[in-house]
Amino acid sequence: MTSLATDMFRNYRDWLDQQKMPRGKRVALLAALELFADQGFDGTSTQAVADRAGISQATIFKYFKTKQDLLLAILQPVMDNFFPVYRDEFVAGIQRPQTLAEKVHFVVLDRYAFFKANREAVKIFAVEMMTNAEIRQSFIKIVGVGNFATFNKIITTFRQTGELRDDIQAADLIRSFIGQIVGYGIQTTYMPVSDTNETADLQRITEQLIRLIHK
């Protein structure tokens, strides 16, 4: 995990601990996080969440009008922070490395550390992106046109190395990094192999991305 870990949102559970909210709401969110990850959103009833949390269904509906609202309460903070390119700290972190390879390495390690800390939420997110229109719309808002001004700051620092391909755009970088990092995270979490070498694997991902975007 990078030195930015103390400055940025890293773990949904830690974030939840820091929020001021009633105990019933907090335990409902934690129970839903675990069950949605294990059984899927559609495969989990609010009664199951209530049983896991040790509260009544009425308590859940006191804080969340629908099961969908409960899902969004889990995923929204993760979506808001999984792509923290709007954060000054993240921008500064990318600017410190001098070469394109160093910048790519920084992003791979930083975002994979975040993925590892939020495996449950990311699993839920990956599944719901395929089936849940509201989650897709929330994602589009986060990586949409309104945020590309900041994304462009990121690509500018990549271009300043003089090593980035001229035809690479901000959206290309986002898709490339997300695809490689999330793909590897899902593989190691849900399809692990006994001889996995995380350090070597992340280095290979870094090298693959460099080959993809380097002139």
- The ranges of the chain with pLDDT < 70 are 1-10, 81-89, 142-150
Six token digits for residue 78: 């993760």
Q: What is the pLDDT of residue 44?
A: 96
User: What is the tens place of the pLDDT at every residue in 122-175?
Assistant: 888 888 888 888 888 877 776 554 556 667 788 899 999 999 999 998 888 888
- Residue 79 CA to residue 107 CA, distance in Å, equals 17
Q: What is the pLDDT of residue 7?
A: 39
- The answer to whether 172 and 109 are in contact (CB under 8 A) is no
Six token digits for residue 126: 């990956």
Given CATH 1.10.357.10, say whether it is the number of domain 3-213.
yes
Q: Tell which residue, 154, 157, 146, has the closest CA to residue 177.
A: 154
Q: What is the pLDDT of residue 2?
A: 38
CA angle in degrees (0–180, nearest 5) for 106-109-115: 135
Q: What is the tally of helices (H) and strands (E) in the chain?
A: 12, 0
For residue 44, give Cα distances in angstroms to 19, 48, 49, 64, 67.
Answer: 25, 6, 7, 15, 9
Six token digits for residue 208: 């693959």
Kindly list the domain boundaries of the chain, sorted by start residue: 3-213
- Residue 64 CA to residue 73 CA, distance in Å, equals 9
